[in-house]
Chain A
Amino acid sequence: MADALLELMNVEVLYSNVILALKGVSLKVAPKGCVALLGANGAGKSTTLKAISGVIASDDGRVSGGSIAFAGQAIAGRETASVVRSGLVHVMEGRRVLPHMTVEQNLVIGGHMFANAARMRRALDGVYEAIPRLADLRTRTAGYLSGGEQQMLVIGRAIMAEPSLMLIDEPSLGLAPRMIEEVFAVLHRLRGNGLALLIVEQNTRVALELADYGYVMESGRIVLEGAAGELGANEDVREFYLGLDRDGGRKSFRDVKHYRRRKRWLG
């Protein structure tokens, strides 16, 4: 992967000048590649994406070390808008719709950089076709959509921008099983069209199906990386991320790890 589309080298991120959230993260996304970023809560996955796109600046954070290159250009510290214009969009965690706008307005704004209205229209139709649910909701105010509907909307909005690299933070969050299949089908199709993806996902199974390479983060560091297949076979990943027991069967949530249970509370 010599000519990676996105390359992070030893990136460090500092929040409020005191909290060091990333402690030297290096990762690469090949052109048209798909990379999954896994990790526990608070590991720094979202921070990584925010550092890449630059929105971290408005969270009182900054990239304090290392380098980030996108399509050969150093982008660390650049203004988000210009990074996004160069072909990278970031779907932030937390269903960040524009609440007072209708679904269609949200999508149109997603395609605000199209030169002419006809191309925008085409992209819009493309999104409606990919996620038909959005077509039904087009005149609804985004802020009143259900959680899952909002999730679909932000993904649709990102597609509108026709990026070459998409950073997605937890796309399956809050989606019903059938919707997850649909959304990932869309992502598969986009991959087929040459879109590169960096995806943070807790639904490890589908993520590893989609990705060809994966990284596992733990408290601000990459602790494990490998091809998607390898990772899927790793014992820890199987236990902690896929929820499988040693022989590959699914454990029941009812009798998991009661040994770790500490009944100090209400004891």
Chain B
Amino acid sequence: MIIEFLNYTLNGALLGLLYALVAMGFVVIYRASKVFNMATGEMLVLGAFLVWWAVASRGLHPAVGIAAALAMAVLVGLAIERFFFRRLIGESVFSMIMVTIGLLILTRGLVLVIWGPQERAFPALIRLEPLIVGEMIVPRPLAAAGVVAVVFALGLHWFFNRSRTGLAMSAVAEDHQIALAMGISVRRSIAFAWALGGVLSVISSIVYLSGKSLTFLSSEIGFAALPVALLAGLESIRGLLLAGVIVGVVQGLTSAYIDPLIGGNAASVVPYVFMLVVLAVRPNGMFGWKRIERV
């Protein structure tokens, strides 16, 4: 029993780290451009299809295929800046969110036109045999998600908080106009953000979908990851790790012990409820920038 409990906890934590990785897509773009990307899930699907196309459809060697997918994802990110956000620098936050919603509809449509709605077998880029630790069983893709999430979170945390380029990008998240007046190219920052978003979408699609099926509906994970981003605080990359683990564990245990009890799917709402509770106490998430209210 106790082993089982531990196993649920561990797998939940790893699943949470997967959410954290997906949520990093929100945070990175936010942190470097002040845009909250509602199309994060759709970006992930796009990244996934690029991988699928390169590896499964064109039959490239996985390493080459992934590299190709990454390159294309970066190009997509750059194109998004060029065609959508360049004109909107300094516009209201609202217009920008709305554009990402437009992007969501557009990407979904494009994916359907290009790849169609069929379910595709996503290549098993990560070995599928689970890790067995005593009586605990850990799926390898989840383990990989955990490792990748930690590595990326620490790396990006360093980048945005310590490196000068990263700090300059954070200035864009504060205020486009100030950043501009300081000679920071808001354009380049946004382009970088989306390119990075593209990279993250490819990486997270690999750990999420390896060996599973892929359709345009795989974007739903975007909304599952949302509470993690909020719980961490929209500016905190390192915080995603803790938030992810918490959400994952809470969700995992709910699905293991509460759902069977009530005969319903409490696990799907529990992250949101948990998020509401935490935000009521800490309105900017656990590590987000505190709103500065001064007169």
Contact = CB atoms under 8 A, between A and B. Distances in A.
Check A-B contact in the complex, CB < 8 A. Answer: yes
Contact of A58 (B90, B165, B185, B235): B90
Most chain A beta-carbon contacts within 10 A, residue among B171, B186, B235: B171
Contacts of A206: none
B167 A112 contact: yes
B167 A109 contact: yes
Interface stretch (A33-41, A85-93, A131-139): A85-93
A77 to B, nearest CB: 14
B183 A84 contact: yes
A57 B90 contact: yes
Interface in B177-227: 177-178, 180-187
A84 B171 contact: no
B259 interface: no
Contact of A96 (B181, B184, B290): B181
B182 A157 contact: yes
B180 A109 contact: no
A231 interface: no
A42 to B, nearest CB: 20
Contacts of A89: 181-183
A223 interface: no
Interface residues of B, number: 27
Contacts of B186: 81
A54 B180 contact: yes
Interface string A118-135: 001000000000000000
Nearest to B176: A58
Contacts of B185: 79, 81-82
Most chain A beta-carbon contacts within 10 A, residue among B164, B170, B182, B186: B182
Contacts of A97: 178
Instruction: Please classify how large the interface on chain A is, using the bins under 10, 10 to 19, 20 to 34, 35 or more.
Output: 35 or more
A112 B187 contact: no
A183 to B, nearest CB: 19
B168 A101 contact: no
Contacts of A105: 167
A96 B171 CA distance: 11
Contacts of B182: 84, 89, 109-110, 112, 157, 161
B170 A101 contact: yes
B175 interface: yes
A160 to B, nearest CB: 9
Most chain A beta-carbon contacts within 10 A, residue among B89, B90, B174, B175: B174
Contacts of A54: 180
Contacts of A109: 164, 167-168, 170-171, 182, 184
B289 interface: yes
Contacts of B58: none
Nearest to A147: B294
Nearest to A85: B183
Contacts of A101: 167, 170-171, 174
Contacts of B164: 108-109, 111-112, 114, 117, 120
Contact of B184 (A53, A58, A81, A108): A81
Contacts of A82: 185
A81 B183 contact: yes
27 contacts: A55-B180, A55-B181, A58-B177, A58-B180, A79-B185, A80-B180, A80-B181, A82-B185, A84-B183, A85-B183, A89-B181, A89-B183, A90-B181, A96-B175, A96-B178, A96-B181, A98-B175, A99-B174, A100-B235, A109-B164, A109-B168, A112-B182, A120-B164, A141-B292, A143-B292, A143-B294, A144-B294
Interface of A: 53-55, 57-59, 79-85, 89-92, 96-101, 105, 108-114, 117, 120, 141, 143-144, 157, 161
Given A109-B171, A111-B164, 15 more contacts: A54-B180, A55-B177, A58-B89, A58-B177, A79-B187, A81-B184, A82-B185, A84-B183, A91-B181, A92-B177, A99-B292, A101-B167, A101-B174, A109-B184, A161-B183
For the complex of A and B, the 3 pairs showing the least CB-CB separation, nearest first, are: A58-B90, A84-B183, A143-B292
